[in-house]
Structures are given as structure tokens and as C-alpha cells.
Amino acid sequence: MPPRHRTTGLFVEGAIPDTKQLIIAISQAAQACGLTLPEIARSLGAQNLDGDGGGEQAEEWIEQMELILDSMSCPLEKRVMTVTFFLTGSA
């Protein structure tokens, strides 16, 4: 008989969680610890956009930010406020 797996919250002990589940769990834990949405985004790899790299760099930054915000389950109404923390210089 195969070994039994014990469920602990979001994860199954002995199994590798899928990456999206892991990021969501980290995001929820960070919010429970009092971190702000921009702090959580930064911890997941969000970078600043300074506006000096041109349109292609801006497109890549937007795509990366969308992936991070999606993985955080960031509410739509808080996304603009969150990303403004990462705009610097002429961006």
C-alpha cells in the first residue's frame, strides 16, 4: 500500500506543491504578518521601472508585474496603487 499523505492547510505533506499554490500561500502569510502589497510584490521579484529603457522594457515590466500581481491574488482595485511604488524617474 502506498504511504498516506497528511494534509496540512494548503499543502499535502510529502508532495511537492505547485508553484502558484506556493506563491499564493507566501503572499497570504506575508499579508497576515502585516506586510503591504508593494512589500509582498518586491519579495516576489518586482523591479522598479525608471522609464529610460524605452517601450520594449516597459512592455516587459508590465508583463512581469501582471504575473506577480496575479500570483499574489492582488485585487484589481489595488493594482494601480501597488505598481506606482515601482515607478521611478520619468516613468
52 domain residue, yes or no: yes
Query: How many domains would you assign to the chain?
Result: 1
Mind listing the pLDDT tens digit for each residue in 34-82? 888 999 899 889 999 987 878 899 999 999 999 999 888 888 999 999 9
DSSP states along 60-90: HHHHHHHHHHHHTT--HHHHHHHHHTTB-TT
pLDDT at 20 over 50: yes
CB 53 within 8 A of CB 30: no
Give the three-state DSSP class for 18: coil
Looking at residue 14, its pLDDT comes to: 55
Domain limits for position 67: 19-26+37-84
Residue 13 within any structural domain of the chain: no
- Min mean pLDDT across 4-13, 26-35, 49-58 is at 4-13
In a domain, 72, yes or no: yes
pLDDT digits (tens, 9 = 90+) for 31-43: 778 888 999 899 8
* pTM for this predicted structure: 0.66
